């Protein structure tokens, strides 16, 4: 069985794009980048956690990681406070579901993580949740907690990599695409 067949099975038809394309025609930078990987997860846009999904997605969108540079999800999305736009949402603590400031951000980190798995970059830090999540298969999640648990990766390419993260609140989908500057 090929990797592509396994991915299609695991992700119920979600296709990982591994070819050159224009991601957003209105983005002047898109013509300068090749798509390394993209992944989409679903969420309920009517839940409070959707605000946190949007905030985290906006914070990582457009970030450019230079060759040899390490990206930190935790540092990029800023502390989870009201002042930074976050609200209370469900999260795991000690095997229980609790309300915490920023609950829901892990959906964005997990969506990024799946894209990273197929991008060729080195993941230098990743932690699984204490319980399975519903938006990615078991083992494909990446939890973030305070300053203790982070998702970090090293750009191993010789060109800059851009993170494109979008949220569609009408369909309840967050998409993270990794783009490499063209040679």
DSSP state letters, 42-111: E--TTSTHHHHHHHHHHHHTT-EE-TTPEEEHHHHH----TTTT--EEEEEETTEEEEEETTTHHHHHHH
The 10s digit of each residue's pLDDT in 86-103 is 999 988 887 788 789 999
Q: How far is 174 from 181, CA to CA, in rounded Å?
A: 23
pLDDT for residue 30 = 54
72 neighbors 126 (Cβ within 8 angstroms)? no
Q: How far is 34 from 146, CA to CA, in rounded Å?
A: 33
| 31 band by pLDDT with thresholds 50, 70 and 90 | low
Q: Is the pLDDT of residue 19 over 90?
A: no
The 10s digit of each residue's pLDDT in 116-160 is 999 989 999 999 988 888 899 999 999 999 889 999 999 999 999
35 neighbors 177 (Cβ within 8 angstroms)? yes
Q: Is the pLDDT of residue 9 over 50?
A: no
The 10s digit of each residue's pLDDT in 172-181 is 999 999 999 9
């Amino acid at each position: 069985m090929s990797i592509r067949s396994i991915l299609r099975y695991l992700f119920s038809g979600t296709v990982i794009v591994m070819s050159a394309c224009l991601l957003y025609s209105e983005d002047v930078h898109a013509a300068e980048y090749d798509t390394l990987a993209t992944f989409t997860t679903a969420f309920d846009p009517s839940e409070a956690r959707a605000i946190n999904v949007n905030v985290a997605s906006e914070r990582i969108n457009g970030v450019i990681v230079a060759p040899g540079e390490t990206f930190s999800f935790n540092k990029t999305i800023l502390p989870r406070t009201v002042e930074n736009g976050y609200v209370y949402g469900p999260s795991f603590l000690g095997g229980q579901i609790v309300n915490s400031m920023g609950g829901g951000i892990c959906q964005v980190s997990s969506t990024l993580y799946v894209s990273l798995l197929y991008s060729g970059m080195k993941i230098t830090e990743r932690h699984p949740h204490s319980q399975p999540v519903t938006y990615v298969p078991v083992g494909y999640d990446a939890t973030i907690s305070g300053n203790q648990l982070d998702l970090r990766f090293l750009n191993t390419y010789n060109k800059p990599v851009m993170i494109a993260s979008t949220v569609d609140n009408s369909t309840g989908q967050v998409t993270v695409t990794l783009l490499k500057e063209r040679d």
